[in-house]
């Protein structure tokens, strides 16, 4: 039984109901907030000024918002709920041996909050190496890849194990590109057709359909490039032009247009990968031209050069299954000359330190790509 006790009630039928006094809800369920679109979110409603501290749920962004007197702000959460967030999925790749690269169509997953070995998730529609992956809290997209180079976009429901299904196409077939997302948009940048390109595509993650043109990476056509995002910005780092570069560029995800210069990595390299939380991007490993254990970091909301973060536990490149959570990044697979890698490593994104062991993938694989429902773009 619910109890409601207040001192006075006023404004009924004119300004909306105002409770003057303590208001306590005793429930084991939940409180439903007012909700509406961004367009419906204003500083006034029906002639009534919005008060500082007002909260609502935005149905366009799927985020809770708070009014602070002159603008609406997103209410941030520090950790996804178990069973809702925190799952990372490794997609495709190449298995050592075979002629000459034995691509695979396997997907496997880990629960990022709990160290351990990966578990079978399902299969891609066909064997595929070096696709680009992005995700919302519910859907994961796998785009492009090789064997042969293709323009497919496939979709999975991250919380449910099963095979991927076709959902659309990139603007051009390509592989070895950067990919990242926020809750609304998925982005693919650069890659090779096999000719290197500077194309940036985007899709609405919640909808099936083909990608649209976003803009271009500036100054370079580029492949073997890493990328990451917070809810507002996405960035690309390093790559092959065909020479290895240290350049970092960024875009504003919910706009369109060409990338802008951000800064430089500590060392030029390709085949690095990236993990993010809402503030920090971490660029991991790669080839310099030899395999490297370098880990850099940037503050995504600013611009400037990357700084040293720590070292990988294994020298490797193409460690491209990166599963991201608010504090932990886990990355599995990759290539450590002269063979592939089965191990999964982890690091704490908010603390500058070296990587350490998390568990193992089901099989040795490289050129795999990863997605999660708890990455920094969400």
Domain ranges of the chain: 22-74, 87-372
| Mean predicted confidence (pLDDT) in 176-191 | 97
pLDDT of residue 6: 54
| Mean predicted confidence (pLDDT) in 152-177 | 97
| Mean predicted confidence (pLDDT) in 336-340 | 81
pLDDT of residue 324: 86
pLDDT of residue 79: 46
pLDDT of residue 81: 42
| Mean predicted confidence (pLDDT) in 51-77 | 81
pLDDT of residue 18: 62
pLDDT band for position 300 (cuts 50, 70, 90): very high
Rounded mean pLDDT of the chain? Answer: 88
pLDDT of residue 84: 35
3-state helix, strand, coil in the chain (%, to 5): 0, 45, 55
| Mean predicted confidence (pLDDT) in 196-212 | 97
| Mean predicted confidence (pLDDT) in 18-35 | 68
Residue 252 has pLDDT above 90, yes or no: yes
pLDDT of residue 46: 53
| Mean predicted confidence (pLDDT) in 275-295 | 93
pLDDT of residue 339: 81
pLDDT band for position 276 (cuts 50, 70, 90): very high
Identical fold for domains 22-74 and 87-372, yes or no, is no
| Mean predicted confidence (pLDDT) in 171-199 | 97
Percent of the chain with pLDDT over 90: 67
pLDDT of residue 208: 97
Residue 22 has pLDDT above 80, yes or no: no
| Mean predicted confidence (pLDDT) in 147-174 | 97
pLDDT band for position 97 (cuts 50, 70, 90): low
87-372: what CATH class?
A: mainly beta
Q: What is the architecture of the domain spanning 22-74?
A: Ribbon (2.10)
Residue 23 has pLDDT above 80, yes or no: no
């Amino acid at each position: 039984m619910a109890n409601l006790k207040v001192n006075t009630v006023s404004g009924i039928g004119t300004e909306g109901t105002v409770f003057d006094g303590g208001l306590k809800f005793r429930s084991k369920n939940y409180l439903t907030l007012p909700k509406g679109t961004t367009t419906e979110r204003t500083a006034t409603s029906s002639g009534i000024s919005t008060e500082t501290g007002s909260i609502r749920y935005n149905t366009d962004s799927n985020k809770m918002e708070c009014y602070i007197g002159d603008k609406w702000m997103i209410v941030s959460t520090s950790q996804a709920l178990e069973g809702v967030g925190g799952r990372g999925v490794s997609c495709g790749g190449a298995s050592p041996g075979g002629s000459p690269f034995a691509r695979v169509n396997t997907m496997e997953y880990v629960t990022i909050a709990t160290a351990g070995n990966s578990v079978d998730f399902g299969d891609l529609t066909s064997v595929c190496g070096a696709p680009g992956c992005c995700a919302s809290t519910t859907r994961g997209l796998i785009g492009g890849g090789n064997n042969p180079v293709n323009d497919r976009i496939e979709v999975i429901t991250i919380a449910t194990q099963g095979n991927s299904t076709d959902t659309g196409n990139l603007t051009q077939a390509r592989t070895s590109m950067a990919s990242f997302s926020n809750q609304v948009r998925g982005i693919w940048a650069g890659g090779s057709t096999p000719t290197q390109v500077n194309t940036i595509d985007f899709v609405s993650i919640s909808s099936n359909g083909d990608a649209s043109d976003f803009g271009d990476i500036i100054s370079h056509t580029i492949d073997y490039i890493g990328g990451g995002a917070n809810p507002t910005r996405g960035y690309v780092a390093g790559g092959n032009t065909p020479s290895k570069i240290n350049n970092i560029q960024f875009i504003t995800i919910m706009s369109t247009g060409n990338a802008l210069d951000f800064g430089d990595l500590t060392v030029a390299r390709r085949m690095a990968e990236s993990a993010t939380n809402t503030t920090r991007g971490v660029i991991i490993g790669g080839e310099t031209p030899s395999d490297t254990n370098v880990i850099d970091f940037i503050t995504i909301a600013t611009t400037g050069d990357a700084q040293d973060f720590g070292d990988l536990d294994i020298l490797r490149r193409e460690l491209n299954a990166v599963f991201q959570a608010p504090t932990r990044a886990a990355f599995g697979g990759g290539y450590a000359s002269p063979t592939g890698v089965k191990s999964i490593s982890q690091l704490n994104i908010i603390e500058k330190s070296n990587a350490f062991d998390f568990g193992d993938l089901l099989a040795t694989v490289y050129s795999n790509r990863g997605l999660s429902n708890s990455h920094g773009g969400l």
